[in-house]
Amino acid sequence: MSAAPLLALDAVSKRFVRRLDAAEKIVNLFGGNRREEVVHAVDNVSLQIAEGEVVGLVGESGCGKSTLGRVVAGVHAASSGRVLWRGRDIDSLSGAERREATLKIQMIFQDPMSSLNPRMRVRDIVGEAPRVHGLVSSGEVADYVDRMLLRVGLDPSYKSRYPHQFSGGQRQRIGIARALAVQPDFLVCDESIAALDVSIQAQVLNLFMDLREDLGLTYLFISHDLGVVEHLADRVVIMYLGRVVESAPAAELFADPNHPYARALLEEVPRIDTRKRVFQPVKGEIPSPLAPPTGCHFHPRCPHAMPRCREEAPALREIAPGRVSACHLNEA
C-alpha cells in the first residue's frame, strides 16, 4: 500500500473507570476498602484499513469490539493513541475539517429501534442531517430522501411513517439510509444484522454488498457471527480481552488460523454442512475484563500455554505478508 490508509489506529487504548457509588463511598468512610475499577476495554490497538476494504472484527462478548468501533466513529474519545483519517490525526483537525472527517465515518447499530428517534418521521430521520450540514438545500431534501430510501430498498411512500410502523429489517434499512444520507466513506457496522431473522439478514447483507460495489464504501464490520464475517470481509481482526490477537486476510484466516484462540474460535462455529458433529469446546470461561489474566490473556484457556505465557504478553508479529499474530509459539 503506497497511499495512506483511509483509517488508521495508532496504539489506541480506551479505559473505563467504574466510579464508586454512594453506598460504596459510605462503606469506605467506615473503613471499607472499595476501590475504583478500571476496565481496559481496548488495549493498545493499532490497525490500518485501506480504502474500499471490508474489515471484520470478531471476538467474544466484552472483548472490546463495540468500544473500538465507537472510538473509530468518534462516539468515544480514545484514552490514549491516535485515530488517523486519510493520514491525519483527527484530534489535530480544526473545526470544518474535523466535522467533515467525522461525517465521513458513520455508525450503524445493532438495535435499530433504540437508535431511531421514535417521535420523528422517517423523512426527518433521514433528511435532517444532510440539511443541517448543508449537503442539500431545503428545497431538495424531499427528493433526496426519496433517493436514499430507494437506495436501501424502501418504498418512498412510507416516508411519513414513524419507526414503530416498520418491521425490524425495514428499521435497519432506515438506519442505513440515515447513515448514507450524509455521504459517508466509511461505515462502522456494530452487530447490524444480529437482531434480524435469517432471511432478513440475507437481504441486509446483500444491501451492504451492493453499497460497497456502487458507492465504494469501506467497512469495519463488527459481528459475533463468524459465518457472516467470512462471507463479507476481506480481512478479519480477532480480539481477545481488549487486544488484537490475530489479523489476516479472511480466506487465509479461515483456512488456517494461527493464534490458538483464533483456532479455538473458528473450531466452534457450527456450520450448516457439518452434521452430527462432536462439539469439542475450548475449556473455561471468558475471564473478567476487570481482572484479565497476566501475560498472554488467553493462557488459562490455551492448550499450548508455557510458563512464559503467564509472565509476558506476546507482541503482534508478522507471520506472513499482511498477516500478524500475537503468540509466543511464533518465535522460533
Give contact residues for ligand SF4 (rule: CB under 6 A).
Answer: 260, 296, 298-299, 302, 304-306, 309, 314, 327-329
**Cβ(248)–Cβ(235) under 8 Å?**
yes
Find the part of the chain contacting other proteins (CB under 8 A) among 40-48, 133-141, 218-226, 292-300.
218-226
C-alpha cell belonging to residue 268: 466452534
Quick one: 31 or 281, whose CB is closer to other proteins?
281
Q: The sheet that has 186-190: what strands, in order across it?
A: 105-108, 186-190, 218-222, 54-58, 235-240, 243-249, 323-325, 317-320
Cα 8 to chain center, whole Å? 14
Residues 6+ apart with CB under 8 A from 104: 85, 183, 184, 185, 186
Q: What are phi and psi of 249, to 5 degrees?
A: -55, 140
Q: In this structure, which amino acid lies at residue 184?
A: P
**Cβ(69)–Cβ(186) under 8 Å?**
no
Which option in ligand ATP, ligand SF4, other proteins, none does residue 269 bind, with CB closer than 5 to 8 A by kind? other proteins
Separation between Cα atoms, residue 242 and residue 238, nearest integer Å: 10
Binding flag, residue 13, Mg ion (CB under 5 A)? no
Separation between Cα atoms, residue 276 and residue 58, nearest integer Å: 26
Which option in ligand ATP, Mg ion, ligand SF4, none does residue 289 bind, with CB closer than 5 to 8 A by kind? ligand ATP
Kindly state the smallest distance separating residue 42's Cβ from ligand ATP, in Å. Answer: 7
- Of positions 54, 63, 78, 174, contacts ligand ATP by CB under 6 A: 63
Which option in other proteins, ligand SF4, ligand ATP, none does residue 65 bind, with CB closer than 5 to 8 A by kind? ligand ATP
- Of positions 47, 56, 65, 144, contacts ligand ATP by CB under 6 A: 65
Q: In Å, what is the CA distance from 210 to each residue of 94, 106, 151, 153, 205? A: 34, 17, 10, 11, 9
Kindly state the smallest distance separating residue 313's Cβ from ligand SF4, in Å. Answer: 8
Quick one: 23 or 315, whose CB is closer to other proteins?
23
Q: Which residues inside 67-96 make contact with ligand ATP, applying CB under 6 A?
A: 67
Residues 6+ apart with CB under 8 A from 289: 39, 40, 41, 62, 63, 64, 241, 242
Kindly state the smallest distance separating residue 284's Cβ from ligand ATP, in Å. Answer: 17
Quick one: 222 or 264, whose CB is closer to Mg ion?
222
Quick one: 267 or 312, whose CB is closer to other proteins?
267
Q: Which residues inside 34-73 make contact with Mg ion, applying CB under 5 A?
A: 66
Cα–Cα–Cα angle for 287, 288, 294, rounded to 5 degrees: 65
Binding flag, residue 169, other proteins (CB under 8 A)? yes
Give which of 250, 179, 186 is closest to 218, Cα–Cα.
186
Q: Could you list the residues that contact other proteins (CB under 8 A)?
A: 60-61, 167, 169, 197-203, 205-206, 209, 224-228, 230-232, 250-251, 264-265, 267-282, 285-286
Q: What is the contact surface with Mg ion in residues (CB under 5 A)?
A: 66
Contact residues for ligand ATP, defined by CB under 6 A: 16, 18, 39, 41, 59, 61-67, 224, 289
